[in-house]
Structure 1
Amino acid sequence: MTLVRLNPWQEFNAMQRQFNRLFDEAFVPAKEFNRSFIRVPAAELQETSDAIHLKLEIPGIEAKDLDVKVTENAVSVSGDRKSETKTEDKGVTKSEFYYGKFQRVIPLPARIQNTNVTAEYKDGILNLTLPKTEAEKNKVVKVNLDQSAA
């Protein structure tokens, strides 16, 4: 009987090699790679005492191609990035740009007045100011301290 030394990292190394092969451009054509993942705009959310400020990164799209819907509890942004067609006689064109429809729904940490939302779209950045409802602004939560736990 032969003794084999167990290397617990061997499986992790094999998995890492498989992931590297998966993302290797020679293994997966770039065109198919881009279609397999859903692209959503990056978001940044900041909450103040009066409002929620939401910033979305949506480059390469015109304001008329965006659809922004706001409820009291969430913001939905969707759009369609249209493909620019280029024809070349010789050579190969590789593109990492994503074209097509996208949608992102962002739940909000507090209820807002969805009738008073202000928006600004400039240089591919969508800024939304979402004012909180009066009930949320004045919300005070009492924390009970259990004396028996001490």
Structure 2
Amino acid sequence: MVLVRYNPWQELNALQRQIDSLFEDFQAPTLARAIAAELHETEEAIHLKLELPGIEAKDVDIEVTENAVKVVAERKEETKTDNNGKTRSEFYYGKFQRVIPLTARIQNTNVKAEYKDGILNLTLPKTEQEKNKVVKINLGEAAA
């Protein structure tokens, strides 16, 4: 008779491997759907840079109000004719959307846009009221 030492962790490790194999094929790229943005504000304008890799300019819609920018883009799925083998992809195909609230009111009729190499650059000029805006701080009330 052979004695075998019982290892309770062995069963848990086997279960963990089975769960991992179930999720290998499951794809939920929720983080990939967000459009990365970079905002830089000067006295004259707000400069907004958005990252839209792999998306053609004709598939990008931009709506600008005085207080926000809404960008909707779509990455179309590539058609594949290969019948042999298996394709695994982490790319997200479909619509992306992001609404970016602005820190100042802008002239939405004078927005300039440039799209190159998957980077969208928007120049959003501020309204005259925002350019000349002066905020008075009363230190007496803040300390009370």
Same fold per superposition (TM over 0.5): yes
AA aligned opposite 2:42: T
1:92, distance to aligned residue in structure 2 (A): 1.4
CA–CA separation in structure 1 for the residues paired with 2:48 and 2:20: 35
| Structure 1 unmatched runs, 5+ | 1-20
Which contiguous aligned blocks of 4+ residues in structure 1 show a shift greater than 4 angstroms? none
Q: 2:133 is matched with which residue?
A: 139
What TM-score do the two structures reach when normalised by structure 2?
0.79
Aligned pairs for 1:1-150 (under 5 A) are: 26-30=21-25, 32-34=27-29, 39-146=33-140, 149=143
Distance 1:30 1:60, change over 3 A: farther
What TM-score do the two structures reach when normalised by structure 1?
0.76
Q: 2:11 is matched with which residue?
A: none
CA contact (8 A) 2:27 2:90 kept: no
1:82, distance to aligned residue in structure 2 (A): 0.7
Deviates more, 1:130-139 or 1:86-95: 86-95
CA contact (8 A) 1:38 1:102 kept: no
CA–CA separation in structure 2 for the residues paired with 1:72 and 1:132: 9
SS at the partner of 1:27? Answer: helix
CA contact (8 A) 2:61 2:71 kept: yes
1:96, distance to aligned residue in structure 2 (A): 1.0
Question: How many correspondences in the alignment?
Answer: 127
AA aligned opposite 1:139: K
CA–CA separation in structure 2 for the residues paired with 1:62 and 1:123: 9
Q: Rg larger in 1 or in 2?
A: 2
1:26, distance to aligned residue in structure 2 (A): 2.8
Distance 1:92 1:25, change over 3 A: farther
Overall identity of the aligned pairs, in %? 68
